């Protein structure tokens, strides 16, 4: 038999109660017989006498009992300290909100939001999980995220998930300024015939939508490669003779970034919609922090968009 944490507390309670088992039992809400059985079993199994007895009553600790008691006090103090650390960390983590965002949406839509929000709300912790659309949807279904930005169609059950459109945009073409297509005001899908194009990989909804459109118009465009990185594809199109077919936006800071990269963006006359949705599981009650972040994100997009 070895002392576990409850039994260590039995020993401490007995000493604190001046060796009165009845009083000790009341202090820790156990029966007197539980304490008596603990003493009997421990001393018998370990062949160690913890207590000095007089007329059948406990009166003091034996020398070895005193040594064990001192060690037990240290262990319980450390145990309580660990418990406090865990509790404090748990309280901190209650303010941790996990948000899943595809790399495309993170670059296009959120370069300012999260730094500004966290500076204004220092008590909040946000973990951004950057994954592809397919993986984020799975994580949301498995309750690994508080909410996620997913490209429509999300294939989520409307009865179980809130879904709000945060932006209505489209798929556009990105190219270097020297490209012949850069001189056109607006593109037809047939303009991509015999052009090398790049796309986001198959784990993004825009990949399926673009390939479906190309098949619909019998395009002769040549898919050179796919990638999970929007930045990489855009920057590659700025210096190579390839056309990147990617989601776009119309924010000033986004347009400034395109100018900085040195890439030209062209829209299609029959565009593919790009509709990022903010999604979260439906609950009877949300934490105050979760609600605040969610609503602040929605309000921010509603202010800059005429779409609801």
pLDDT in tens, 264-308: 999 999 999 988 999 999 988 888 888 889 998 888 777 655 433
> pLDDT value at position 304?
54
Same structural domain for residues 17 and 74?
Answer: yes
Same structural domain for residues 258 and 282?
Answer: no
CA distance 221 to 158: 37
Return the CATH number at 65.
Answer: 1.10.10.10
Return the CATH number at 141.
Answer: 3.40.190.10
Region 128-141: mean pLDDT is 93
Same structural domain for residues 270 and 225?
Answer: yes
From 258, 275, 273, 270, select the one nearest 182 (Cα to Cα). Answer: 258
Each residue of 6-19: pLDDT tens digit? Answer: 999 999 999 999 99
Q: Choose the final residue of a domain: 93, 119, 142.
A: 93
From 222, 226, 179, select the one nearest 207 (Cα to Cα). Answer: 226
Same structural domain for residues 270 and 281?
Answer: no
110 pLDDT more than 60: yes
Same structural domain for residues 51 and 104?
Answer: no
pTM above 0.85, yes or no: no
Same structural domain for residues 127 and 258?
Answer: no
Same structural domain for residues 153 and 248?
Answer: no
Least confident of 82-91, 124-133, 171-180, 227-236: 82-91
Going by pLDDT thresholds of 50, 70 and 90, the confidence category of residue 24 is very high
The total number of structural domains in the chain stands at 3
93 pLDDT more than 60: no
As a three-state string, the secondary structure of 141-188 is: HCCCCCEEEEECCCCCCCCCEEEEECCCEEEEEEECCCCHHHHCCCEC
Which pair of tokens denotes residue 88? 């404090």
CA distance 95 to 251: 30
Same structural domain for residues 217 and 239?
Answer: yes
Structural domain boundaries enclosing 59? 5-93
């Amino acid at each position: 038999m070895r002392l576990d944490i409850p039994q260590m507390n039995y020993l401490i309670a007995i000493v604190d109660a001046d060796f009165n088992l009845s009083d000790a039992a009341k202090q820790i809400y156990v029966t007197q017989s539980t304490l008596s059985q603990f003493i009997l079993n421990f001393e018998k199994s370990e062949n160690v006498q913890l207590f000095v007895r007089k007329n059948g009553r406990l009166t003091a600790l034996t020398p070895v009992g005193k040594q064990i008691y001192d060690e037990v006090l240290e262990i319980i103090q450390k145990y309580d300290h660990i418990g406090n650390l865990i509790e404090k960390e748990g309280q901190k983590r209650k303010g941790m909100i996990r948000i899943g965002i595809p790399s495309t949406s993170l670059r296009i839509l959120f370069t300012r939001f999260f730094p500004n929000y966290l500076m204004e709300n220092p008590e909040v912790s946000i973990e951004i999980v950057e994954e592809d659309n397919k993986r984020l949807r799975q994580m949301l279904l498995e309750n690994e995220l508080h909410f996620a930005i997913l490209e429509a169609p999300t294939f989520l059950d409307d009865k179980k998930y809130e879904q709000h459109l945060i932006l209505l945009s489209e798929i556009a073409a990105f190219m270097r300024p020297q490209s012949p297509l850069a001189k056109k005001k607006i593109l037809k899908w047939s303009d991509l015939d015999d052009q090398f194009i790049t796309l986001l990989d198959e784990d993004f909804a825009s990949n399926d939508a673009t390939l479906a459109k190309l098949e619909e118009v019998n395009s002769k465009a040549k898919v050179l490669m796919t990638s999970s990185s929007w930045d990489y594809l855009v920057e590659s199109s700025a210096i190579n003779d390839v056309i990147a077919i990617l989601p776009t936006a119309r924010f000033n800071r986004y347009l400034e970034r395109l100018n900085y990269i040195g890439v030209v963006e062209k829209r299609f006359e029959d565009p593919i919609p790009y509709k990022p949705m903010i999604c979260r599981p439906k609950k009877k009650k949300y934490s105050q922090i979760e609600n605040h972040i969610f609503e602040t994100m929605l309000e921010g997009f509603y202010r800059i968009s005429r779409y609801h």
